[in-house]
Each structure stands twice: as structure tokens, then as C-alpha cells.
Amino acid sequence: MVTIDDVRAVTAGLPRSYEALVRDRVKFRVGRLVYLAFSRDESLMGFAFPKEQREALVASEPDKFLMPSRGDLRYHWVVARLGALEAAELREIVVDAWTMVVPKRVVAEYLGEPVAPAAAQGRDAAARQGRKPTERPGSG
């Protein structure tokens, strides 16, 4: 069983992440984007998660995971029961949710992966879109 303090320990090392208190609820953000949010009693944790995969996640472990409230179904979001999570699983959930709201470069740096220079990233993006690096998207 994990607690909000375990979550704080994980988020403390995540670049650009900070904690906020909104209407008596603890939330973790990067900029204005929320990637974790807790119920007032801190027993449930909502987290950023791909919409396309959430029904499968909830179906696979309904004792741990819940669909978000009806008003939150439009977001990339799912809910977990903190009391049902183990520490290693919590770390994976928190880091994965964080990766959904930070730039890929920040994720790569955090994970210790090589980061391509910005110019190379622009060339690669242009090539994937079938245009010249100096040509603006939609101008061709």
C-alpha cells in the first residue's frame, strides 16, 4: 500500500514538476498541465493515461483502476486506488503520467537517453512530413 508521501518522493526528482493545492485537493503539475490529482481523502489518484488504453487497464484490474468521472472522460485520464498499488507500480504510473505532459527532450534527458540537437530534430521532422527543412509546414 502506498500513500501520497510515496508519490511526493517520486515527483521530487521529476524536472518541471510541482505540487499545487486546488480546492483542498493536491495536484501535481508541469506548467499548467495536471498529470496527477488526488481525492480530498487522498485515497484515489487520478493520473494522465492514454484514452485509447484506459478501458483495457480498468478491465484488467478493476480492484485497482477506475474510469474517470463522466466529466473527465474527454481527457487522457484514469483513476487508481492508492491502497491497491505497490511502490514499484506507483513509480511507473507517476513517471509515465509525467512523460505525457513534458517535452520529449526533457523525458530523454531524465531517462539518460541521447538528445538530438534542435537542428537535427527539425530536419528529421521535415523529412517525416515529406518537405524540405527550410520549408514551412503547409507552404508547399
Cα–Cα separations (whole angstroms), residue 88 to 5, 26, 85, 127:
14, 21, 8, 39
pLDDT beyond 70 at 124: no
For all residues of the chain together, what is the average pLDDT? 89
pLDDT digits (tens, 9 = 90+) for 81-95: 999 999 999 999 999
pLDDT beyond 70 at 121: no
**CB contact burial 4-21 (16+ within 10 A = b; e otherwise):** eebbeebbeebeebeeee
For the segment(s) 4-104, the CATH number from 3.40.50.720, 3.40.640.10, 3.90.1150.30, 3.40.720.10 is 3.90.1150.30
* Mean pLDDT of the 124-131 span: 57
pLDDT digits (tens, 9 = 90+) for 53-72: 999 999 999 999 999 999 99
Are 17 and 11 within 8 A, CB to CB?
yes
Per-residue model confidence (pLDDT) at position 8 = 97
pLDDT digits (tens, 9 = 90+) for 94-111: 999 999 999 999 999 998
Q: For residues 43 and 37, what is the distance between their CA atoms, to the nearest angstrom?
A: 11
pLDDT digits (tens, 9 = 90+) for 21-38: 999 999 999 999 999 999
Q: Is the pTM of this model over 0.95?
A: no
Helix (H) or strand (E) holding 119: helix 118-128
Per-residue model confidence (pLDDT) at position 43 = 96
Domain boundaries, the chain: 4-104
pLDDT digits (tens, 9 = 90+) for 11-24: 999 999 999 999 99
